[in-house]
Amino acid sequence: MTKKSIPDVLRIAVAQLNPTVGDIAGNLAKAREARADAARQGADLVLFTELFLAGYPPEDLVLKPAFLAACERAAEDFAKDTSDNGPGVIIGVPLKRKSGVHNAIIIADGGKIIGERFKVDLPNYGEFDEKRVFQPGPDMPGPVNFRGVRIGIPICEDIWGELGVCETLAESGAEILLVPNGSPYYRAKMDVRHQVAIKQVIESGLPLLYANQLGGQDELVFDGASFAINADHSLAFQMSQFEETVAMTMWRRGEEGWACVEGPMSKIPEREEADYRACLLGLRDYVNKNGFKNVVLGLSGGIDSAICAALAVDALGEERLRAIMMPYRYTSSDSLKDAEDCARALGCRYDIVPIHEPVDGFSHALTQLFEGTKEGITEENLQSRARGTILMAVSNKFGSMVVTTGNKSEMSVGYATLYGDMNGGFNPIKDLYKMQVYALSRWRNTHVPPGALGPSGEVIPKNIIDKAPSAELRPNQTDQDSLPPYPVLDDILECLVENEMGVDDIVARGHDRDTVHRIEHLLYIAEYKRRQAAPGVKITKKNFGRDRRYPITNRFRDRG
């Protein structure tokens, strides 16, 4: 190739899209549509995200030979599309080779696959366990020559780990780093990604484009927010968070190498908005990708069910939510009014199903077995379990998914009833502590997030936010009868769960030692409940389930 034929401008389209795990045909159709869009915008190359054709993370699906074969056929078919003289493509796909099954990408241009690269650094921490199903690339990857430009393609963890993949690519002649990612959301993750990218830019001396997946997959939410860092460490472009889009970027070769000179510059949401939108996207995709037409939840007049109702309407529309109030003799008039006001503000269907008869029926049936015992938590839990049974009956009858509404504070200390308020298919606030629930509720009352289907204005009545939280399972009950105030509880739990702090260190923050011991004990003994809980959106750095895997049988206590 002569010097004149080497391009000085490269137009790269970033496909920040929402694939579905296992929907290979659907993901291929989405990729084709994105490539056609990019072609209309004049792209030379389209960069897709990690394992796009399979959906990410595919987990044990990649152990099925039929799945791998279908993914590779889709990659080959997509490569043939590039014979039209349109843009080339870089797209993620699992590939089985003599060296094993790999998390891979193919590069296609001119109607054929011109290269494939394998992920070298397989993550095996937190929500990731790729070493179970993939083999690392047998060799460090070299750059790919795309129309005269030597492109390095490290895959996700290859820029997060310490194997020196980017430096190796630079040393072997790469001019630009294009990174397909499947990086899930947690609070403040954007800052972490930027820091990781800048570190690699400093070490390699090369500009880096970070393309990230979008969408909900079970507990994980991928927030997009793709970006690029130029070799001078400046932010070259920033794509939107939580929004599916194909964005055009322009790269120009200068005396000091390549730089991104054009691209979108979107504003990244602040903390409450980002958390709310993550919960919204996670709920929407779980419901829609699993084929549920609508959802149902118990609307108690409390803060947790109110914010879940708001999320459901924002995610799915008012016509797809059915809210049911299930009063008993301890349900206050305030709760009845607050639940009705919330449903009216959201515009969703609202039904009242009293539970006096089923609860009294259970009590009567158990009279002989319980003779001589005192009433207590068992009888209280009959109320919760009657409500859970009613919601599951509605689910069975009408095909609605039950949205369960317990927050992380309750799930941490076991203040949730198995086969009662824990019944359900998905929990959008499972990883939000109680004080975070309040913060997001206040935020939603003054904001409507982009893409939300719900109304503006106050959708969670002020009285729900202001009143003392209560399960209303006995007269005059409040949560603080048996728990420390939620600001205290949440701080202790965050120390124990997110930060794995010892008792002495938590006490040094100003907490009472006996209280910390008690909360630690409650946290450990509730593990069996959490194992049976519905999945829910990951918001914190360490959620229950994928990130934090403690034994159920566990006698350890920190006696500091």
The answer to whether 125 is a known ligand-binding residue is yes
Q: Report yes or no: 238 and 227 within 8 Å, Cβ to Cβ.
A: yes
Q: Which of 30, 71, 116, 156 is flagged as catalytic? A: 156
The answer to whether 249 is a known ligand-binding residue is no
Q: How far is CA 24 from CA 36, 208, 440, in A?
A: 18, 28, 36
- Let me know if 80 is a catalytic residue: no
- Let me know if 279 is a catalytic residue: no
The answer to whether 298 is a known ligand-binding residue is yes
**Closest Cα to residue 209, out of 190, 188, 181, 186?**
181
The answer to whether 83 is a known ligand-binding residue is no
The answer to whether 410 is a known ligand-binding residue is yes
* Ordered alpha helix ranges (H), 371-469: 377-398, 408-413, 434-446, 462-466
Sign of torsion over alpha carbons 520, 525, 531, 534: negative
Q: Which residues are within 8 A (CB) of 290 and not within 5 positions of it... i.e. 6 or more apart?
A: 401
The answer to whether 299 is a known ligand-binding residue is yes
- Let me know if 260 is a catalytic residue: no
The answer to whether 304 is a known ligand-binding residue is yes
**Closest Cα to residue 212, out of 163, 266, 170?**
266
The answer to whether 395 is a known ligand-binding residue is no
Task: Give the DSSP letter string of 137-196.
Answer: PSSPPPPEEETTEEEE---THHHHSSS-HHHHHHHTT--EEEEEE--B--TTHHHHHHHH
- How far apart are alpha carbons 358 and 364 in whole angstroms? 10
The answer to whether 303 is a known ligand-binding residue is yes
The answer to whether 381 is a known ligand-binding residue is yes
Q: How far is CA 63 from CA 3, 21, 66, 132, in A?
A: 46, 14, 9, 10
The answer to whether 470 is a known ligand-binding residue is no
Q: Report yes or no: 197 and 208 within 8 Å, Cβ to Cβ.
A: yes
When computed from its CA atoms, the radius of gyration of the chain, rounded to whole angstroms, is: 26
- Going by the DSSP 8-state scheme, the letter that residue 224 receives in this structure is B
Q: Which amino acid is at 327?
A: P
The answer to whether 324 is a known ligand-binding residue is no
The answer to whether 183 is a known ligand-binding residue is yes
Q: Which of 30, 50, 260, 348 is flagged as catalytic? A: 50
The answer to whether 240 is a known ligand-binding residue is no
- Cα dihedral 168, 170, 174, 178, rounded to 10, equals 80
Binding residues for ATP: 298-305, 405
Binding residues for deamido-NAD(+): 381, 410, 529
Binding residues for L-glutamine: 125, 183, 189
Known catalytic residues are: 50, 119, 156
Binding residues: 125, 183, 189, 298-305, 381, 405, 410, 529
